[in-house]
Copies of this chain bind each other. A is one copy, B any other.
Amino acid sequence: MTAGYYAAVDWGTSSFRLWLIGEDGAVLAERRSAEGMTTAARTGFHAVLDGHLAAVSAPAHLPIIICGMAGARQGWREAGYLETPATLGAIAGNAIAVPDVDRDIRILPGLAQRDDRHPDVMRGEETQLLGAAGMLDDGRHLVCMPGTHSKWVRLSGQTVDGFSTFMTGELFEVISKHTILSHAVAEADAIAADSAAFAEAVTRARERPALTTNLLFSVRAGQLLHGLSAADAKARLSGTLIGLEIAGALASAGSVDGICLVGSGRLGALYRSALESQGLTVRVVDADEAVRAGLSAAAQAIWPL
């Protein structure tokens, strides 16, 4: 077994993931928990991190590289933002060190687009992007990172030209839970990536985005008048919101050489299916691999062997 080189942490709003990385780049151990920023802000970031480091028997002076919401104003220590257009190589150089701790802990900055008409921010996705960019050629890519707040990034080689956030995942969540559609979708299982109702909803919202909230209500009306099933109702809700996102992202993307989808699991499969249903060819990069590659690139820049 190689010695530990560093630990990499992806610290989101509601999730915590840690990888212990060896000098040869191998993953020696992994931890996942629900102690995201929201939980850690109450119980203490240092305590949460120490607990996981102890669980993987990390050496006392192992350095730690962190990305995500731990660097938000309401996180552990504010890590600020790099401004677009931004070079991905500048991420590591702008990491901040957590003071008054007994090891070297760095938190990576987010990205900000200080544009009067299109202000936008990301925190965590810049590190996925850094990792994904290492797997792409130097052309102009449109990078889709689906999630609670989906990010669509215009990338030229290693430069982020700009990006747009769409509140798709969060809207799906609150509409499913808190609106009249909650009854329609309550009993449904996870959406199948090959659902015909999903693909149809993606197409209709992409073709007529102005009708989005009408398409959403028609899920309820379809259930009342045509006995629409819970599975199809949920697929249509999701497809409508993702179709709207795709319409908006492509409309503001300009010309690109290709689309890269940084996703994993069910959500990645659903976005891939949505994009392909629109005749788009996508290069898929696993989101977990991308964030680990990004943390690794930053760690090697900060602590060269």
Contact = CB atoms under 8 A, between A and B. Distances in A.
A214 interface: yes
A143 to B, nearest CB: 16
Nearest to A221: B119
A232 interface: no
Interface string A214-250: 1011101110111000000000000001001101100
Given A119-B221, A210-B248, A218-B118, A167 B179 contact: yes
Interface stretch (A15-23, A94-102, A153-161, A169-177): A169-177
A174 B208 CA distance: 23
Nearest to A13: B180
B174 A252 contact: no
A120 B218 contact: yes
A178 to B, nearest CB: 5
Contacts of A113: 221
Contacts of A216: 167
Interface size band for A: 35 or more
Contacts of A214: 118, 164-167, 248, 252
Contacts of A244: 210, 212-213
A214 B112 CA distance: 15
Interface-central residue, A149, A180, A214, by most chain B CB under 10 Å: A214
B175 A180 contact: no
A224 B121 contact: yes
A103 interface: no
A167 B213 contact: yes
Contacts of A217: 120, 149, 165-167
Given A180-B170, A212-B209, A119 B225 contact: yes
A213 B225 contact: no
Nearest to A206: B210
A168 B112 contact: no
A32 interface: no
Contacts of A226: 114, 116, 119
Interface string A113-139: 110101111000000000000000000
Contacts of A167: 179-180, 213-214, 216-217
A146 to B, nearest CB: 12
A208 B164 CA distance: 14
A251 interface: yes
16 contacts: A112-B224, A119-B218, A119-B222, A119-B224, A120-B221, A121-B224, A165-B218, A166-B213, A167-B213, A168-B213, A171-B175, A178-B178, A208-B251, A210-B248, A211-B251, A213-B245
Interface of A: 112-114, 116, 118-121, 149, 164-168, 170-171, 174-175, 177-180, 208-214, 216-218, 220-222, 224-226, 241, 244-245, 247-248, 251-252
Given A166-B213, A211-B252, A213-B241, 11 more contacts: A118-B214, A118-B218, A119-B218, A119-B222, A120-B218, A149-B217, A165-B214, A166-B217, A167-B179, A171-B213, A214-B248
